[in-house]
Structure 1
Amino acid sequence: MTSTGGLSAKTRERLQQELDALRQQRESLAPRLGEDPLGDSADQADLLERAESVSKLDRRIAEITDLLHGGPTAEQNEGLLPSGTRVTLKFEDGDTEDLFVVGFTAEADDELSSLTADSPLGRAIAGHAKGDTITYRTPGGQVSAEIVELTPPE
């Protein structure tokens, strides 16, 4: 059985699309790197710039490949909230916040407030249910919140 790497299907799809685009960019730059620079120093500077671009692409390609093929397994995530969990918290000051649990920051959606499963807040929520009050440590001190809603991923 192949590990899904602990990533949600949406994140895997987004990463795969990014990986495909990066590989195309790299393919368009790489053949020109082997060209013999016969021109002036400006041509050589252009060649160095392309080499740096390819190097950056290679690093990101490797990072995404590692995420897709070697992310945390289900066993490593035992005891943590699963990615895709939605939680609504009511804080001591009366403010409420809707959050989306992600396995790691690259999985976060810009449109939603996210927290990682292994963050202090994520760990505080794990094992609790709707109606429970949790406490967790922040740089500013202890914070308490009530779990108003807790919806696991579908």
Structure 2
Amino acid sequence: MSRAFVKEDTNAPPDLPDLPISPHPNFVTPRGLALLQSALAARQADLAALRARADRLDKLPEAAAERDIRYLSARLASAIAVDPAQHDGSEVAFGLLVTVADEDGDETTYQITGEDEADPAQGRIAPQSPLARALIGAAIGDTVTWRRPSGAVILEVIRIEQPTDPADDPRA
């Protein structure tokens, strides 16, 4: 009989590819570190609940949880915690809040955070982003050029501040 027609073990968990790990240094804010730890604990609890199910025929959710746990564990193991309070606020640095004004005078506040914490809709940008690269090292009153695919934008640094809220809300 041909092996093509033999049913293999259907209870084996599917092989899910691992989530890609960034090649960049894994700088994290205190908030970002707490978020990674919380996410890992949540996925570990999810996996325990999945394994406790009476009907465990579908192994995909377990495999996904195991993959996520591997990813989060790797991100935590490589985390380089940077406390924004270490910076004096004289220039834009990782973890600080920076308020910029565009050519029309519209102000926006950003925080440069770790990749896992970055959320542009919330004003949190990764250090590898073109905007963060343009801002890092700038002082109040400096102008920087943010090179975007749709064209360059000139921004003036208006304020540099320490985050005061544990949630590091960049006043979105």
Question: When the two structures are superposed, what TM-score results if normalisation uses the length of structure 2?
Answer: 0.65
Change (3 A) 1:152 1:123: farther
- The reply to whether residue 18 of structure 1 matches residue 39 of structure 2 is yes
Shift of 1:117: 1.4
1:39 paired residue number:
none
Shift of 1:152: 5.0
Give the percent of matched residue pairs that are identical in Structure 1 and Structure 2.
Answer: 30
Question: Is there any run of 5+ residues in structure 1 with no aligned partner, and where?
Answer: 36-42, 75-79
Q: C-alpha distance in 2, partners of 1:146/1:135?
A: 9
1:86 paired residue number:
97
List, as ranges, runs of 4+ consecutive aligned residues in structure 1 with deviation greater than 3 Å: 71-74, 108-112
Change (3 A) 1:23 1:110: farther
Q: C-alpha distance in 1, partners of 2:124/2:99?
A: 11
Question: When the two structures are superposed, what TM-score results if normalisation uses the length of structure 1?
Answer: 0.72
1:117 paired residue number:
127
Change (3 A) 1:110 1:146: closer
Question: Is there any run of 5+ residues in structure 2 with no aligned partner, and where?
Answer: 1-25, 83-91, 165-172
- The reply to whether residue 70 of structure 1 matches residue 57 of structure 2 is no
Kindly indicate whether the alpha-carbon contact (under 8 Å) linking 1:11 and 1:107 is maintained by their aligned counterparts in 2: yes
1:102 paired residue number:
113
Larger helix fraction of residues: 1
> After the TM superposition, which of the residue ranges 140-149 and 13-22 deviates more from structure 2?
13-22
1:85-110 alpha-carbon deviations (Å, 9 max, x no partner): 10000001221101111121x21368
From 22, 25, 29, the equivalent of 1:8 is 29
Q: C-alpha distance in 2, partners of 1:91/1:102?
A: 21
Q: Give aligned pairs, total.
A: 130
Q: Please give the residue correspondences for 1:114-153 in structure 2 after superposition, counting only pairs within 5 Å.
A: 114-152=124-162
Equivalent residue of 1:6, what SS? Answer: strand
Change (3 A) 1:127 1:110: closer
Q: C-alpha distance in 2, partners of 1:10/1:114?
A: 12
Equivalent residue of 1:130, what SS? Answer: coil
Q: C-alpha distance in 1, partners of 2:127/2:108?
A: 16
Q: C-alpha distance in 2, partners of 1:137/1:13?
A: 32
